[in-house]
A = this chain, B = another copy of it.
């Protein structure tokens, strides 16, 4: 298939996937760039189409009848970036059963009304790097299939389950004996003084309002800061929690 017109029905449908409501109505999202497309191909995600423009010259191992070719100008209309890499995959939104991932052992990340796409994407990338079990998004966090979130994940969305859900997930984790942590500036314990190597969930709150589910948190800890900055970026706080948890696991093995 070769598409020259941006009025083509398929092109119009893909263009709409930049919008959250349309994504969930269609049950589809897209990722851009060779790395992301190859990660998608190597994953269990179900790919609907691969779209590439005339100027994309690499070989992509995918069913020929599911590859859509377009002109560069048509591709630019569907891309979410200013200088597109001229390839994208249109993928089915996965349907995770969160109960499968809630176990008695595990490292969980809960994004509680995290609004900045770069922050959520970076949290997912770090959760993947440090071997977390799953990421849950609750309380109106930015949509995980937002193109800007996906860009910041650098393909990690294909490695770790990221599940939009509600705050009841925290109760399910607690019922399994998972201890729920959040940071607090006035907490007394520092993060490295707590046992967080396993069976832990870390709640990351909104960039300005913080955590909304304080009543469900088992323990508040502080990331030690000595400078004049009053707080850390939320994706930084997530990474430090996950790194410290990883460090404690490694030390146990030494």
Residues on A lying within 8 angstroms of B by beta carbon are 118, 122, 125-132, 152, 154-156, 159-160, 190, 192, 223-229, 231-233, 235-236, 239-240, 243-244, 246-247, 250-251
Q: Is there an interface contact between B125 and A232, defined as CB atoms closer than 8 Å?
A: yes
- Closest CB-CB distance, A125 to chain B, in whole Å? 6
- Closest CB-CB distance, A78 to chain B, in whole Å? 23
25 pairs, CB–CB < 8 Å, chain A vs chain B: A122-B233, A122-B236, A125-B232, A125-B233, A126-B229, A127-B227, A128-B227, A130-B225, A130-B226, A130-B227, A152-B233, A154-B229, A154-B231, A154-B233, A156-B227, A156-B228, A159-B229, A160-B228, A223-B243, A224-B243, A224-B246, A226-B246, A233-B235, A235-B235, A244-B247
Q: Of the candidates B118, B192, B240, B251, which one forms a contact with A118 in the assembled complex, judged by CB atoms under 8 Å apart?
A: B118
Q: Of the candidates B159, B235, B239, which one forms a contact with A227 in the assembled complex, judged by CB atoms under 8 Å apart?
A: B159
Known contacts A192-B247, A250-B190: does B129 contact A160 (CB below 8 Å)?
no
Q: What is the bound-complex CA distance between A114 and B45, given in angstroms?
A: 33
Most chain B beta-carbon contacts within 10 A, residue among A155, A236, A246 = A236
Q: What is the bound-complex CA distance between A235 and B232, given in angstroms?
A: 11
Apart from A129-B229, A159-B229, 16 more pairs, CB < 8 Å:
A118-B118, A122-B236, A125-B236, A126-B232, A128-B228, A128-B229, A130-B225, A131-B226, A152-B233, A156-B229, A159-B228, A224-B246, A224-B247, A224-B250, A235-B236, A243-B244
- Closest CB-CB distance, A144 to chain B, in whole Å? 16
Q: Is there an interface contact between B190 and A232, defined as CB atoms closer than 8 Å?
A: no
Q: What is the bound-complex CA distance between A250 and B226, given in angstroms?
A: 10
- Closest CB-CB distance, A192 to chain B, in whole Å? 5
- Closest CB-CB distance, A250 to chain B, in whole Å? 6
Q: Is there an interface contact between A236 and B190, defined as CB atoms closer than 8 Å?
A: no
Q: What is the bound-complex CA distance between A132 and B228, given in angstroms?
A: 11
Q: Of the candidates B118, B232, B250, which one forms a contact with A129 in the assembled complex, judged by CB atoms under 8 Å apart?
A: B232
- Closest CB-CB distance, A251 to chain B, in whole Å? 8
Q: What is the bound-complex CA distance between A246 and B243, given in angstroms?
A: 14
Please give, as numbers and ranges, the residues of chain B lying within 8 Å of A192 by CB-CB distance.
247, 250-251
Nearest B residue to A121 by beta-carbon distance? Answer: B233
Q: Of the candidates B159, B160, B240, which one forms a contact with A239 in the assembled complex, judged by CB atoms under 8 Å apart?
A: B240
Please give, as numbers and ranges, the residues of chain B lying within 8 Å of A246 by CB-CB distance.
224-226
Q: Is there an interface contact between A227 and B129, defined as CB atoms closer than 8 Å?
A: yes
